[in-house]
Structure 1
Amino acid sequence: MAHVGVPRGTARKRRSVALLATGVLTIPVLAGCSSDSEGPTSVAAPQDIAPASRDRVTEGSTVTWAIDGVPATLNAFQADADSATTRITGALLPSLFPMDAKGEPRLNPDYLESAKVIGQEPKQVVLYKLNQQAVWSDGREIGAPDFVAQWRALSGKDSAFWTARNAGYERIEKIERGKDDLQVRVTFSKPYADWRSLFSPLYPKEVTGSPGTFNDGARTTLENTAGPFRLRSVNKPEGSVVLDRNPRWWGNEAKLESLVFRAVEPEDRTDALTEGAVDVADIDPATANSIALAARYRSGKGGPPAHGPGSDSTPASALRSWALAHGSDEEAAEAAQAAREETREAIAVYAAEQKSLNGFAVRKSLEPAYTQLALNGESGPLSDDRVRRAIARTLDRQELADAVLGPLGLPAKLPGSHLALAGQPGYKDSSGALGEQDTKEARALLADAGWTPGGAVRRTEDTKAGSEAEEKGRAGKAEQKEKDEKAEKTDKAEKAEKDDKASHDEGMYVVGDEKPGDGPAGDGEVTAQDKQAGGARGAYAPTGTPAPAPASVKDRLGKAGKPLSLRFVLPSGPGSQSLRTVGEKIVEMLDSIGITTQVTKVDDDSYFKDHIASGDYDLALYSWPATAYPATDGRPIFAKPEPASDGSLLVEQNYTRVGSDHIDQLFDRAVSELDANASRDLLKQADARIWAAAGSIPLYQRPQLVAVDKKLANVGAFGFAAPRYEDIGFTARQAAGSTANRKK
């Protein structure tokens, strides 16, 4: 699935992505009770990869894996690296501490014998002992020179290297060779808790040793690799990246002979699966439903098909169709025969499609990512934390999570942290710092901030007295009527007096900055339509008097004549339906307490770049991936924005523009704390303050749906864990005409 809305690259470590947005930006009562439990909790949904022991997986064959597009770069440290970059380099390059199924970093024995902190005073020192069999594809051993070259490229000290992140590398003081190149001694100038995040992926010194190869050479090819696969070709016109087994791989040999990554747009994946063009593909709920339907499809023998063309046929309609086709009316018979033939062909085509889709299973879990409601606190009503907290406490998060995850049969456990997900050791539900869903409390917060029902109604000079000439005219007319009243003392004069009074009252209250007819009357206030002397309401209102306001508008919140109206930006692409569904529900929830939202739908391609990153929104939905290193990765996402010399705002990755010095200090302390428990405690404190600031409201953990050939093992919805590419393969040898052979 393609998710719109996942932010990429800044000076600090960029989170791995999938925009996470859209369909991905795809994508679950406000703030449940805070849990005081410590330590890891059970994973909300386990991975679903059809696990099989290696002896059950056959040798050979090719698997084709759908990606959104051929990556712009194969250098994971550049700003335009994306999820495809991560997926491909994961099979080609060393990852020293990949995440396991619980979201913890685990030492990878294929590359390391050991790695540990051997000193903290006066400075932190980490000693890496490399696997003695580990070599690059050209035969050179992986060693200290590769670590040194990557540190120098990513340290930020040499601007010739165009890098999107240097977090952690800038803290390294020096790297030394141990007794040989297989021992690497890293000394830090400042303590760094997340040292395991460094050197993953590890590039050969041929890539990181010079700005030219780092900036340009590694974008399109990697000649030297060190994974179970090696790069054979990158073909952008055809939209494919082909990997072959690495003959110099020292670990378990890859079961597949080759692995092909093929660019397939999310909206085209159902067709790609049906046509046998791919074996593995992230999919949206609609495609998952199509696969589920295919499993229940039956042919029309003995009755109509279960669904699709011909499924609405009944015995009576079938008999009538046959009678027409064989009747004496030649014209009617010809038309009926043609219709029957068209139906037979449609059924045959649909049956073939269903048979193809029935060869796939939907592997499902929860992505290591959460979708959030972002509230832009840079300016306007949302710059007031009381308004942000009120919106957060209006939301029924459980309803939103159920809407996305319930139909998929996935657990809709509400995320309680911005910095970890259920199952990770640092997870703790800190949402209690904000409070539970409470409409009454939300209204009180808004009232305290000055936003009240009827607050959008104000008395204006223009409508109170009209023009100066009109006022004088009315005064003169009133004076004359008064004289007439005293002189005549008749019923007609008394009626004139009432009309005169009504003429003074008319038009005194209008909605500030609203067009006629759009504004509400405040509580206890009167409008022109309520003061008419007779006849149809409003029929005798003076020229320029606003038309009556809809009754429902009376509850709109406002302040000083200005309505509380927020711009809600949503992606419009076919893969973003889940986000739009959630957005519609949020609009209804806010409407229930009088907050107006103006929904703006924009192209997926521009959603993040032109709106989220630039701050052109009030409310938006996008996702953040989970990480094993929240002290490093969370800091730029929640850092307090700082003004730049040119007057702009430096937000790093904090696209809500909400932050505080205290939160920054807690992150800084956590990333320098080498005691894991102490570091986690500091992060929990930071998370509680992030909840209280209400700039980001986690709604649900995103669903992970992957269509996989039923014969494939060890691949699917991985959850937290990194794939073990060498274990992926078929549990039964492919027959002639199978996917791999059809592509050749």
Structure 2
Amino acid sequence: MRSRSAVLAALAATAALVLAGCGGVGGGGAQGGGLAGATEGAGENDTNPLPRDQVQDGGDLRWVLDAIPDNFNRNQLDGTLGENKEVMDAVIPRAFVAQADGTVAVNEDYFTSIELTSQDPQVVTYTINPEATWDDGTPITWVDMQAQWQALNGTNEAFLVAGTSGYDAITSVERGVDDKQAVATFGTTFAEWKSIFVDGIYPASTNTDPATFNEGWINAMPLTAGPFRLETVDTTAQTITLVRNDNWWGEPAKLDRIIYRVVERDALADALANNEIDFYEIGSSVDLFQRAQGIAGVEIRQAAPPQYNHITFNGGPGAILADPALRRAVAQGIDRQIVATALVGQIVPDAGPYGSYLYPEGSENYVDHSAPVAFDPAAATAALDGLGWTSPGAGQVRTKDGQPLNLRFVTTAGNPISDQISQLVASQLTAIGVGVEFVPAASADLFDQYVTPGDFDMVGFVWGGTPFPVQSTQNIYGTTGDQNYGSIGTPEIDALYAEAFQELDDARRAELGNEIDELIWQQMPQLPLYSATGAYAVRSTLANFGARGNADFEYVDSGFTAG
């Protein structure tokens, strides 16, 4: 499933995808000009990599956030802010870390090995690093992992969990050869088992008490274990300060502190120019891209991330877009190339439409299945005619049985990227006789008041992927998914997901994933627009940090050079 980045949404799976307002992601590139296409940077990152001995000891990294996380427990329903990961990965254990090529690797700071030790029944054995301890000196043991499974498997509704996926397939977590080994046995095969325990492993004290699980991590971090530890959360100043953890057993962090600070998007360039922050994400903003080019001591770093802008359609019972044929006709009336060029063409000259729901561009499994809904206003017009939506004349709204074909397009108020996309789409739809009514929503209200209740016909935001495409998308495209906001799906799609969940062979699972993708395109629950390009404006003296692409951020080796 997917988490949020600049707006709110609930998780229903352990490895979340990133959800954001339409301005949340975008492109960038070499200082002084446009960038190569998004796919060229796929499988890479751009972080000014340097050996540790060339990075200075000390210094503060000033890190921008859109908001202070509501709850620092990432496994709790309110802890799903995408940026929460950026904070908690510095202080909490996790089983795997994402790599630039889209794969994952065992997080050796916390585990010496994680292995699939049996396929029938499925058994995964986690061997914990002997040195791994919580900051109070208590060893991290199998008990912590057992408690987390018990909290997240869905059997106790007092735990308001972000998601149960994977954990609900486990029947037991037991002690292995010693306290430093956990053995997880599955009752049903769970193919993407590496997605479990990646959103943070919290101490048993958090996961045995529902009150602590739900509320104990609000503006607090009771017990952590990472290269950094919490110093303060200042909700007035809107800052979070982490300091180097002297109890850390691994390579010590190069930085003294990481100071997270909430900065409004329109103030980012000034904040960087005034030496108040050390980087910002450019997103789809040409203005932020151009401003970054003129800031002394700043360079633009770019690596394609697994994120894309899209439009979600509402196909629920009684919705005007309940018919998939009508959704496909509407999609054919939208020129995605024009949208991509207008939004990020100055940043990524060859940006084009995104073509997969499951796999990111540049992935070896990416296949563009969007041809049946390619921009074709003549075909869209013919389809609308055939569906009984008659046109009274050029530029006028079609009707059927007295109902006008007017679509409520919920947009993020005050977001120039959202405004530009919605205006372009509306003008294109007008040309085929589809009316559009804009409904501006405050970013804080977008999901609670509109998306989650299904109070929209169209709405745009950003989806972002994980290394676990089957597990992380079933909650969106399955008929019972909590994040199937448009209520669109079929039993055939559900059946293929069920089969893919059971398929341990990676190649066969990817085949099933692409079969799922083809069926989703037929149903048209969403229209992907353009890929994010992952551009960041970064202080040039910052090493091992920047445009991470598919990879996780590096906390231990990041730091500053002499300049």
Do Structure 1 and Structure 2 share a fold, with TM-score over 0.5?
yes
Aligned counterparts of 1:232 and 1:396: Cα–Cα separation in 2:
49
Give the SS at the match of 2:304: strand
Cα offset for 1:92?
0.6
Output the amino acid matched with 2:447: F
Aligned partner (choices 187, 190, 194) of residue 188 of structure 2:
190
- Do the aligned residues in 1 keep the contact of 2:13 with 2:163 (CA within 8 Å)? yes
Give the SS at the match of 2:106: coil
Output the amino acid matched with 1:177: R
Deviations 1:238-292, CA, capped at 9 Å, x for gaps: 2111111122322222111111111222222233223322122234432332222
Aligned partner (choices 123, 131, 135) of residue 125 of structure 1:
123
Output the amino acid matched with 1:138: D
Deviations 1:551-607, CA, capped at 9 Å, x for gaps: x45x6422234432212221121xx21222122221122122222222232322222
TM-score normalised by L of structure 1: 0.70
Cα offset for 1:67?
0.8
- Do the aligned residues in 2 keep the contact of 1:9 with 1:78 (CA within 8 Å)? no
Cα offset for 1:89?
0.4
Aligned partner (choices 407, 417, 420) of residue 581 of structure 1:
420
Instruction: Determine the structure 1 residue equivalent to 2:530.
Output: 700
- Do the aligned residues in 2 keep the contact of 1:14 with 1:164 (CA within 8 Å)? no
Residue 711 (structure 1) aligned with residue 536 (structure 2)? no
Instruction: Determine the structure 2 residue equivalent to 1:560.
Output: 401
Residue 103 (structure 1) aligned with residue 42 (structure 2)? no
- Do the aligned residues in 1 keep the contact of 2:320 with 2:457 (CA within 8 Å)? no
Residue 113 (structure 1) aligned with residue 127 (structure 2)? no
Larger deviation, residues 165-174 vs 245-254? 245-254
- Do the aligned residues in 2 keep the contact of 1:223 with 1:231 (CA within 8 Å)? no
Instruction: Determine the structure 1 residue equivalent to 2:221.
Output: 222
Output the amino acid matched with 2:448: K
Deviations 1:593-626, CA, capped at 9 Å, x for gaps: 2222222323222223222222221122111111
Q: Assess, with a 3 A threshold, how the Cα gap between structure 1 residues 430 and 696 changes in structure 2: closer, same or farther.
A: same
Cα offset for 1:4?
7.7
Aligned counterparts of 1:414 and 1:44: Cα–Cα separation in 2:
16
Deviations 1:199-242, CA, capped at 9 Å, x for gaps: 12111222223223212222232243222111122121221111
Deviations 1:385-406, CA, capped at 9 Å, x for gaps: 1111111122222221122221
Q: Assess, with a 3 A threshold, how the Cα gap between structure 1 residues 566 and 713 changes in structure 2: closer, same or farther.
A: same
Residue 412 (structure 1) aligned with residue 351 (structure 2)? yes
Instruction: Determine the structure 2 residue equivalent to 1:656.
Output: 486
Larger deviation, residues 665-674 vs 134-143? 134-143
Pairing of 1:162-181 with structure 2 (within 5 A): 162-181=160-179
Instruction: Determine the structure 2 residue equivalent to 1:672.
Output: 502
Instruction: Determine the structure 2 residue equivalent to 1:330.
Output: none
Cα offset for 1:79?
1.9
Give the SS at the match of 2:90: helix
Aligned counterparts of 1:561 and 1:597: Cα–Cα separation in 2:
17
Cα offset for 1:368?
2.2
- Do the aligned residues in 1 keep the contact of 2:15 with 2:195 (CA within 8 Å)? no
Cα offset for 1:3?
8.2
Instruction: Determine the structure 2 residue equivalent to 1:633.
Output: 472
Output the amino acid matched with 2:216: G
RMSD (Å) for aligned C-alpha atoms: 2.3
Aligned partner (choices 444, 448, 461) of residue 609 of structure 1:
448
Instruction: Determine the structure 1 residue equivalent to 2:315.
Output: 377
Q: Assess, with a 3 A threshold, how the Cα gap between structure 1 residues 670 and 215 changes in structure 2: closer, same or farther.
A: same
Instruction: Determine the structure 1 residue equivalent to 2:34.
Output: none
Instruction: Determine the structure 1 residue equivalent to 2:31.
Output: none
Aligned partner (choices 571, 577, 583) of residue 412 of structure 2:
571
Deviations 1:456-483, CA, capped at 9 Å, x for gaps: xxxxxxxxxxxxxxxxxxxxxxxxxxxx
Identity of aligned residues (%): 33
Consecutive unaligned residues in structure 2, runs of 5 or more: 28-38
Larger proportion of helix: 1
Cα offset for 1:425?
4.1
Give the SS at the match of 2:305: strand
Q: Assess, with a 3 A threshold, how the Cα gap between structure 1 residues 182 and 424 changes in structure 2: closer, same or farther.
A: farther
Instruction: Determine the structure 2 residue equivalent to 1:446.
Output: 384
Cα offset for 1:148?
0.7
Instruction: Determine the structure 1 residue equivalent to 2:246.
Output: 247
Aligned counterparts of 1:380 and 1:207: Cα–Cα separation in 2:
42
Give the SS at the match of 1:261: strand
Deviations 1:505-561, CA, capped at 9 Å, x for gaps: xxxxxxxxxxxxxxx6xxxxxxxxxxxxxxxxxxxxxxxxxxxxxxx45x6422234
Q: Assess, with a 3 A threshold, how the Cα gap between structure 1 residues 194 and 560 changes in structure 2: closer, same or farther.
A: same
Instruction: Determine the structure 2 residue equivalent to 1:541.
Output: none
Output the amino acid matched with 2:428: M
- Do the aligned residues in 2 keep the contact of 1:368 with 1:719 (CA within 8 Å)? yes
Aligned counterparts of 1:117 and 1:270: Cα–Cα separation in 2:
47
Aligned counterparts of 1:438 and 1:406: Cα–Cα separation in 2:
21
Instruction: Determine the structure 2 residue equivalent to 1:23.
Output: 23
Aligned partner (choices 62, 65, 69) of residue 64 of structure 1:
62
Deviations 1:269-327, CA, capped at 9 Å, x for gaps: 233223322122234432332222x3xxxxxxxxxxxxxxxxxxxxxxxxxxxxxxxxx
Output the amino acid matched with 2:301: R
Q: Assess, with a 3 A threshold, how the Cα gap between structure 1 residues 70 and 3 changes in structure 2: closer, same or farther.
A: closer
- Do the aligned residues in 1 keep the contact of 2:397 with 2:406 (CA within 8 Å)? no
- Do the aligned residues in 2 keep the contact of 1:359 with 1:709 (CA within 8 Å)? yes
Aligned counterparts of 2:301 and 2:86: Cα–Cα separation in 1:
18
- Do the aligned residues in 2 keep the contact of 1:92 with 1:226 (CA within 8 Å)? yes
Residue 55 (structure 1) aligned with residue 53 (structure 2)? yes
Instruction: Determine the structure 2 residue equivalent to 1:159.
Output: 157
Aligned partner (choices 506, 511, 516) of residue 686 of structure 1:
516
Aligned counterparts of 2:340 and 2:312: Cα–Cα separation in 1:
16
TM-score normalised by L of structure 2: 0.91
Pairing of 1:200-349 with structure 2 (within 5 A): 200=198, 201-283=200-282, 284-292=285-293, 294=294
Aligned partner (choices 273, 282, 297) of residue 359 of structure 1:
297
Aligned counterparts of 1:577 and 1:601: Cα–Cα separation in 2:
12
